[in-house]
Chains A and B, each alone.
Chain A
Amino acid sequence: DQQVKQNSPSLSVQEGRISILNCDYTNSMFDYFLWYKKYPAEGPTFLISISSIKDKNEDGRFTVFLNKSAKHLSLHIVPSQPGDSAVYFCAASAQGGSEKLVFGKGTKLTVNP
């Protein structure tokens, strides 16, 4: 039973274009969502988060959108840069500590020069 789904294992975009990474969830109790970025042979680093009381959060080139009715969130990267090439994990939690964090399986983003 996969509560957090990243249905696209990979995504390829051109430098300068928009990257859109998607994440769907099934648990309506989730109230906090995060995106982590991971380079090969390194640990994941926190990128951006959003609480369920918001529908958008922006940090520089990164914006996360939350559609609670559709149980869907997305990460937009504009403009995409080759250094953004990494695996992106979506994670969600439901009013609990981080032991309750549920991660998606990740989407590998490749930004081509």
Chain B
Amino acid sequence: DVKVTQSSRYLVKRTGEKVFLECVQDMDHENMFWYRQDPGLGLRLIYFSYDVKMKEKGDIPEGYSVSREKKERFSLILESASTNQTSMYLCASEDRRRTGNTIYFGEGSWLTVV
């Protein structure tokens, strides 16, 4: 079974704080993703990475950055958290050697910015 682990399930941070969300996958997948999910808005792609040290912007990258120093780990960084970044954040990974676009999600990180 694919395992995508998000280290923090629930966080409460203050406005202006720097926030790190960590994600680790154990299946040697090349592709990794960060999404946020908000009610009525579905899943929106923030950033993705298709290899170590590679990153590409998704649909809503503003206010976020990412880091991929190792293949299994993909971090999402909020340099200065704001209340509109209160959301559920989902990490995902994909084996791009396989056909089809089946991505596997972690359990999510609930971030509240106060």
Chain A residues engaging chain B, CB cutoff 8 angstroms: 9, 32, 34, 36, 41-46, 49, 51, 89, 91, 93, 96-101, 103-106
Contact = CB atoms under 8 A, between A and B. Distances in A.
B103 A42 contact: no
Interface stretch (B14-22, B60-68, B93-101): B93-101
Given A104-B42, A105-B42, A106-B42, A43 B101 contact: no
Given A34-B101, A43-B105, A99 B4 contact: no
16 contacts: A32-B101, A34-B101, A41-B110, A42-B107, A43-B108, A44-B105, A91-B101, A96-B101, A98-B92, A98-B96, A98-B103, A99-B45, A99-B50, A99-B56, A101-B103, A106-B42
Contacts of B94: 97-98
B101 A105 contact: no
Nearest to B59: A102
B101 A97 contact: yes
User: Chain B: interface secondary structure?
Assistant: strand
A99 B43 contact: no
Contact of A49 (B56, B100, B107, B110): B100
Contacts of B106: 43
Given A44-B90, A49-B102, A98 B31 contact: yes
B43 A98 contact: no
Given A49-B102, A104-B42, A43 B107 contact: yes
Interface in B14-61: 31, 33, 40-45, 48, 50, 56, 58
Interface string B68-102: 00000000000000000000001010101000111
Contacts of A98: 31, 33, 48, 92, 94, 96, 101-103
Among B4, B42, B44, residue most surrounded by chain A Cβ atoms (within 10 Å): B42
B40 A9 contact: yes
B31 A43 contact: no
